[in-house]
């Protein structure tokens, strides 16, 4: 295997690619956000891997199992393709929560954002140069995960950025984003001006 040389854009799903409807379990509620398909095309054309990294507490709460989350993600990707987006290169999710309803998922894991475990796992599997990569999210936990993984970070303010912070097992520190914008289209434009 060669050295890590691929670049990626890590994408939170809910609030970045699709509307955040809070605890999504029904594919009928999937709504692709404006400008997302074209943004993904531009990033893919520039050579970036497109990887979704998402906390999925619906599993920890007993609202869906891991197979159902994977099926829902396939439905998200079908909607994205129908809107003209390219295929995504991976989907990584954390099913855990520090106060999970289901005891099997109640743990202090390394994969729940703001920890960088999902990004590090994806980087290892895809030979990604994290310093040349980006994390795009709508919550402070996304930015922290990206910063801890060594990525540049983009904060899209699509609505959920105003919500209270999600529960974490340690105090939620601050991570100043490298760029703040209204949505993925603007985020992609900024990323591509950085040498994409």
pLDDT digits (tens, 9 = 90+) for 111-164: 999 999 999 999 999 999 999 999 999 999 999 999 999 999 999 998 665 555
Q: Please say if the pLDDT value at position 61 is more than 70.
A: yes
Check residue 175 and give its pLDDT: 72
Give catalytic residue positions: 12, 14
Distance of alpha carbon 163 from alpha carbon 160, whole angstroms: 5
Number of other residues whose CB lies within 10 A of the CB of residue 42:
18
pTM for the whole structure: 0.92
Distance of alpha carbon 18 from alpha carbon 15, whole angstroms: 6
Give me the chain's average pLDDT, please.
91
Architecture label for domain 8-193: 3-Layer(aba) Sandwich (3.40)
Number of other residues whose CB lies within 10 A of the CB of residue 157:
14
Summarize the confidence of residues 44-60 as an average pLDDT.
97
Contacting residues for 146 by C-beta, under 8 A, at least 6 apart: 10, 116, 119, 134, 135, 137, 152, 153, 175
Confidence grade of residue 2 (pLDDT, cut at 50, 70, 90): very low
Range in 1-5, 52-56, 103-107, 137-141 with the lowest mean pLDDT: 1-5
Q: Please say if the pLDDT value at position 57 is more than 90.
A: yes
Confidence grade of residue 176 (pLDDT, cut at 50, 70, 90): confident
% of the chain with per-residue pLDDT over 90: 84
Q: Please say if the pLDDT value at position 99 is more than 60.
A: yes
Check residue 155 and give its pLDDT: 96
Q: Please say if the pLDDT value at position 1 is more than 50.
A: no
Summarize the confidence of residues 89-93 as an average pLDDT.
98
Q: Please say if the pLDDT value at position 80 is more than 70.
A: yes
Most confident of 2-11, 124-133, 174-183: 124-133
β-pairing, 152-156 with 134-137?
parallel
């Amino acid at each position: 295997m060669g050295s890590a040389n691929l670049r990626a854009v890590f994408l939170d799903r809910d609030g970045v690619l699709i509307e955040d409807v809070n605890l999504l379990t029904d594919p009928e509620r999937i709504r692709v956000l404006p400008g997302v398909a074209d943004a993904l095309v531009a990033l893919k054309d520039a050579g970036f891997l497109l990887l979704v990294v998402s906390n999925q507490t619906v599993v920890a709460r007993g609202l869906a199992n891991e197979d159902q989350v994977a099926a829902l993600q396939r439905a998200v990707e079908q909607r994205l393709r129908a809107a003209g987006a390219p295929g995504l290169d991976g989907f990584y999710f954390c099913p855990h929560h520090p106060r999970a309803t289901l005891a099997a998922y109640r743990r202090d894991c390394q994969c729940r954002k703001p920890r960088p475990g999902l990004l590090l796992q994806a980087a290892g599997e895809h030979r990604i140069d994290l310093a040349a990569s980006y994390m795009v999210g709508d919550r402070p936990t996304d930015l922290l995960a990206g910063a801890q993984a060594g990525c540049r970070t983009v904060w899209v303010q699509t609505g959920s950025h105003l919500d209270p912070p999600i529960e974490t097992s340690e105090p939620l520190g601050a991570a100043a984003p490298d760029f703040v914008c209204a949505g993925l289209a603007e985020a992609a434009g900024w990323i591509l001006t950085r040498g994409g």
